[in-house]
Chains A and B, each alone.
Chain A
Amino acid sequence: MELLDPTTGAAAQAIAYAPRPGSIEGKRIALIENTKFNSDKLLVKIGDILVHDYGAAGTRMWRKRNASVPAHEEIIEEVRKTCDVVVAGVGD
């Protein structure tokens, strides 16, 4: 018997990572908040550590529309213009 494959792979995409900074010192940090409870508090703590222990220049936080979608274009544009490093994550 001959059977047909029911599966599909995702379309191939080229993904390039931004170069990693050698040091956080003097860098402007973007914090991307995913709207879940306490995610803002966690990111503030991480930002504080990056500023006080690693010499980052400062932090600014953005809030996604909801946890299930990528950061929207306005966030990406502003981060691109005003920051050097992004801290983001997904979690419950």
Chain B
Amino acid sequence: MTIQLVSKRYQVADAADPIEFCFQQGWTDGLPVVPPTADRVAAMLEAARLDAKQEVGFITHRAVSISAEKVAINAVMAGCKPEYMPVVIAAVEGIADPRWSYHGPGTSTGGAAVLMIVNGPVARELDVNCGDNLFGPGWRANATIGRALRLVMRNVCGSMPGLLDRGTLGHPGKLSYVIAENEAESPWTPLHVERGFRPEQSTVTVMAANGPHQFYNQLSNTAEGVLTTLADDMRISGGVMGQPHYAVVLAGEHMRTIAGSGWNKADIRRFLFEHTQNSHAHLKRTGRMSAELKPGDETLMRPLVESPDDILVVAAGGRAGTFSAYIPGWGSKRSSQAVTKEVKRPGV
């Protein structure tokens, strides 16, 4: 296929450093980028069999159309391999979905990042890490796919820190926040199947998210024991009054302990929903809920999320170590919902 690129072109004198040129243009996230040359961009589009002008998403409240060419340029700059492009495209479709509702999580002082959970065969084929050092560095796919998405948000959607990205604190996940589910070792239904896809389909789930919170339980050998610790950690976390989504990431040892008790993901969600509720009295005393204390507030309970289904359970993380994590969503479920999109790969 012939790729017709329409973006403005900049000539950089041979002596000038093209990486430095990208910094000077304000195109980077603070790290050096791969210079986006026409050959590299064309290879990226070719890998996804996309026409440069094709619209991948439209951000209504910003009146911004995201073309495949712009996604490809930013994916090149992020360091993606061409075969990552379909995953980046699916993620862009996700954040452009009205349910994700870009303007809030893309702008808010709450400082959300886009947590991306990759499921299905593509995760294994592209070596998206689902194991050791899950949220840390070391895997090109994890580091660059999320980086590409954030560069699209910056360069195309206008989410520039201090301007239309007004995160008070932000967090390191705003550089890249990509994990895969460990479907090979998980005893449970994969996230994408729970969300309506077939096991052989590949998907990306995007969730507006705060940073990961690690918890530790080395003592319990039952599901109830491990999840009691998790619920105690989760109960007061994130936007406790917002009732957003939560992602719960269960690593190897905890995964095996919980499964050993015969619990599935629905059991986990139900337990966490029931054991993360706060009394109105506590929320008022600690400055989270407005209004004066009333009789009955000590026993009137408010759930952390609106429904058990608002907790996304993912099996991922190293095999060794009694650590797992929970990730509070940004804002509220009314403001932004997690969205799952299929990764469409040519010829697959």
Question: What 0/1 readout, one digit per residue, does chain A (67-92) give for beta carbons within 8 Å of chain B?
Answer: 11110000000000000000000001
Contacts of B65 in A (CB 8 A): 8, 11
Contacts of A70 in B (CB 8 A): 61
Contacts of A11 in B (CB 8 A): 63-65
Contacts of B335 in A (CB 8 A): 66-69
| A interface, size bucket | 20 to 34
The verdict on A68 contacting B64 (CB below 8 Å), with A3-B18, A3-B21 known, is: no
CB <8 Å contact, A4 and B9: yes
Interface size on B, residues (CB 8 A): 46
CB <8 Å contact, B14 and A6: no
CB <8 Å contact, A6 and B36: yes
CB <8 Å contact, B38 and A2: yes
Q: Is B328 an interface residue (CB 8 A)?
A: no
Contact of B37 among A4, A10, A38, A69 (CB under 8 A): A4
Q: Is B62 an interface residue (CB 8 A)?
A: yes
Main secondary structure of the interface of B (DSSP, over half): mixed
With both beta carbons as reference points, the residue of chain B lying nearest to A37 in the complex is identified as: B290
CB <8 Å contact, A68 and B12: no
Contact of A7 among B103, B155, B290 (CB under 8 A): B155
The verdict on A68 contacting B104 (CB below 8 Å), with A1-B35, A6-B74, A92-B109 known, is: yes
With both beta carbons as reference points, the residue of chain B lying nearest to A65 in the complex is identified as: B334
Contacts of A2 in B (CB 8 A): 9-12, 37-38
Q: Is B199 an interface residue (CB 8 A)?
A: no
With both beta carbons as reference points, the residue of chain B lying nearest to A9 in the complex is identified as: B64
Contacts of B47 in A (CB 8 A): none
B339 CB to nearest A CB, Å: 15
In the docked arrangement, what's the CA distance between A89 and B38, Å? 44
Contacts of B21 in A (CB 8 A): 3
In the docked arrangement, what's the CA distance between A11 and B63, Å? 6
Q: Is B240 an interface residue (CB 8 A)?
A: no
With both beta carbons as reference points, the residue of chain A lying nearest to B11 in the complex is identified as: A2
In the docked arrangement, what's the CA distance between A68 and B73, Å? 29
Contacts of A67 in B (CB 8 A): 104, 335
Contacts of B228 in A (CB 8 A): none
- Using a CB–CB cutoff of 8 Å, the interface residues on chain A facing chain B are 1-8, 10-11, 13, 37-38, 65-70, 92
Can you list 5 A-B contacts (CB < 8 A)?
A2-B11, A3-B36, A6-B70, A37-B290, A68-B331
Which 7 A-B pairs give the minimum distances between C-beta atoms? A68-B104, A5-B8, A6-B73, A6-B155, A4-B7, A10-B63, A7-B155
